A and B are shown apart, each in its own frame.
Chain A
Amino acid sequence: MAQPVIAVRDLTKVYHLGEVDVHALRGVSLDIHPGEFVALTGASGSGKSTFMHLLGCLDKPTSGDYHLKGRDVSKLSSRTLAEVRNREIGFVFQGFNLLSRTTALENVEVPLLYARVRARERHARAREALDAIGLGERLDHHPNQLSGGQQQRVAIARALVNRPSLLLADEPTGNLDSRTSIEVMGIFQQLNAERGITIVLVTHEHDIAEYATRIVSFRDGRVRSDRPVPVRREASAELVTLVEQMAREELSA
């Protein structure tokens, strides 16, 4: 088998809250291979977000190893880590985290700014990323002029604009209704299938997890179960039936 994208061994994370030590992660070992679509589930407080932050090089573990594409992350300088965040990882948040009063296009361009891509290419690539995600018409809209689903799609375009091989999404559908959630999952499945992007997605909704190929379940900072999805849901097919159903309802009304 190919080298894993993510290889973690005995990862722990302890937060010190005054006198109290909070053990958010108590020894997690996991391999994720290229092209996998992994859903992380688990109860609130089980350590999913903490784990994602470590995977995204936004935080440092208390102990344990993390190899990203074979590189020991703990040995990288802060400058290199910024570069890794910029080039190799795309991050999608529950709260979208778009820059307000900034157009969709400019939001998507931000990672390219830090990659020092020239203006012309920057515009072209950002436009392309938004086109690919079906927002080509909304380039000049500000976040407050977009729906939640559209905002999340801008955020996805931003995560993808630097062509990372790994996409990390922490409850990306948490703020969306079920139909929009399916649309977003459809985008993830498409990216995973067509571009082979490795995706790690946190969700505490079981039906969302079933769009993935593998479900890793956390409990109390440990991996409780790790299994493939037996019957995978297909977002695109579901969307088609959903649209048909809505059309029928409208006719009968």
Chain B
Amino acid sequence: MSLGMTLLVALRALRRNAMRTVLTALGMIIGVSAVIVMVAIGNGARSSIEANIRAVGSNVVNVNAGSFGMGPVRMGAGNTTSLTPEDAAAIREEVPGIRYLSPGVNLRTQIVSEATNWGTQVQGAGPDLAQIRSWSTEFGSFFGEQETRTAAKVAVLGAVVRDELFGPGADPTGAMIRIRNQPFRVIGVLTRKGQAAMGPDQDDTVVIPYTTAQRKLLGITHIQSIMLSAEDGVPLDRVSTSITNLLRIRHNIIGDQDDFMVRTQDEMTSLFTSTTDTMTWLLAGIAAVSLVVGGIGIMNIMLVSVTERTREIGLRLSLGARDVDVLLQFLVEAVVLSLVGGTIGLALGFGASYGVGRVVGWPTLVSSDAILLAFGFSAAIGVFFGFYPARKAARLDPIEALRYE
């Protein structure tokens, strides 16, 4: 039988059991749309992160205390006391090409206003942070050298924190808030940046002088990180090498593991994007499991179909069908089934990606890769899971099949 006719016969058989076809295809529909949505979200997150990090500026270098894999205990960044304000000062003095530099001491805590309270990230920083992160203020201003030197209890609020504590759009400059039971004066509100694709909301933060964070809130003398930006045109890898060399000397590190990490913004970008990529493939992989489940559904229904149509198969064999004809008939049916599911799933995945994008406010990107993948996958699943039932049909003995009750 010609392939065209085989296709026609398959379509008819599927239409005859329309409800069953739809239910069976549902597995593929869910699987394919899930894969599409997951990849779309992942791609969206990636491009959003890239855009965000690019907005920070590509000339930024981060130094973090601690390192992964230090000593017998693997410690996360920021868990060691080895990085000091003197290190920061030395970097600024001795490493050429640095424009802005801000030491960092962060903590999570509850912020209390007269009316309410809000848990957020408190960033202790230097006055340069505003320049490094291109932050402007909506109200008031950022703190300066003076406040930093004196460890003044002043705070600049992110837009989200202001919204939560004082109401959306309010100007709280001059108001008092309490951080760990100490009174701080609000001196400014940062202009809103918008939700980042990953990590904490950039607007959900409070910035205070790092000296204040050290002395008044934590009672420490070390710092956790240093963020700096280079002069235009200065190669970042040279800056980061100089910093590394300088800190090794200052920390007396010879051949051992460094107790700090220096990362350029590009490295941060690729770190984040590779994390999102991993996440994307993980999610897509989980979604692909539902494709396999869909495939098993197809196999199941094809086996039922072969059993139901045993007499028909016997009849066709007696009328001159070759075993390949029978094999193809059922294989094509399975592939059509899974492709129908794949196509509907693709449409649904498009719609859902768009919907998710609207809801979370990221661009979700349905790539042509994902489309090809979905189609390839569903066709492959049709062939893979359809083959066994089809072969079973093709191997039927004509007489036994004709006698089948």
Contact = CB atoms under 8 A, between A and B. Distances in A.
Interface of A: 53, 56, 58-59, 78-79, 82-83, 85-87, 91, 93, 97, 99, 101, 110-111, 113-116, 158, 162
Contact of B1 (A93, A113, A158): A113
Contacts of B323: 78, 82
Interface of B: 1-2, 5, 16, 311-312, 315-323, 325, 397-399, 402
A85 B318 contact: yes
B399 A97 contact: no
Contacts of A82: 317, 320-323, 325
Q: Which of B318, B398, B399 counts the most chain A CB atoms within 10 A?
A: B318
Nearest to B323: A78
Contacts of B5: 113
Given A99-B315, A113-B5, A116-B2, A83 B399 contact: no
A59 B322 CA distance: 14
B312 A78 contact: no
A58 B398 contact: yes
Contacts of A99: 312, 315
B319 A114 contact: yes
A58 B318 contact: yes
A158 B66 CA distance: 85
B1 A91 contact: no
Nearest to B5: A113
B322 A79 contact: yes
Contacts of B312: 99
Contacts of B398: 58-59
Nearest to B325: A114
Contact of A114 (B1, B16, B402): B1
Contacts, number: 55
Given A59-B398, A101-B16, A114-B1, A91 B322 contact: no
B321 to A, nearest CB: 5
Given A58-B398, A59-B399, A99-B312, A110 B2 contact: no
Contacts of B318: 56, 58, 85, 91
B320 A115 contact: yes
Q: Which of B315, B316, B320 counts the most chain A CB atoms within 10 A?
A: B320
* 10 A-B pairs with least C-beta separation: A86-B320, A114-B320, A82-B322, A58-B398, A111-B319, A85-B320, A113-B1, A97-B315, A59-B399, A114-B321
B396 to A, nearest CB: 12
A210 B31 CA distance: 65
Contacts of B315: 97, 99
Contacts of A111: 319-320
A189 B216 CA distance: 114
* Interface of chain A, main secondary structure: helix
A162 B321 CA distance: 13
29 contacts: A56-B318, A58-B399, A58-B402, A59-B398, A59-B399, A78-B322, A78-B323, A79-B322, A82-B320, A82-B322, A85-B318, A85-B319, A86-B319, A87-B320, A91-B318, A93-B402, A97-B315, A99-B315, A101-B16, A110-B316, A111-B320, A113-B1, A113-B5, A114-B319, A114-B320, A114-B325, A116-B1, A116-B2, A158-B319
Contacts of A53: 399
Given A53-B399, A99-B315, A111-B320, 12 more contacts: A58-B399, A79-B322, A85-B319, A86-B320, A91-B319, A97-B311, A99-B312, A110-B319, A114-B316, A114-B321, A115-B320, A116-B2
A132 B312 CA distance: 26
A113 B318 CA distance: 13
B38 to A, nearest CB: 41
Nearest to A102: B12
Nearest to A79: B322
Nearest to B324: A79
B307 to A, nearest CB: 16
Given A53-B399, A58-B398, A99-B315, A83 B2 contact: no
A189 B318 CA distance: 24
A116 B319 CA distance: 13
A85 B318 CA distance: 6
B167 to A, nearest CB: 69
Contact of A83 (B16, B311, B320, B397): B320
A108 B402 CA distance: 18
Contact of B322 (A97, A110, A114): A114
B285 to A, nearest CB: 42
B402 A97 contact: yes
Contacts of B1: 113-114, 116
Q: Which of B1, B315, B319 counts the most chain A CB atoms within 10 A?
A: B319
Contacts of A56: 318
B222 to A, nearest CB: 82
Nearest to A117: B2
Contacts of A91: 318-319
A250 to B, nearest CB: 40
Contacts of A78: 322-323
A251 to B, nearest CB: 45
A85 B315 CA distance: 11
Contacts of A86: 319-320
Nearest to B312: A99
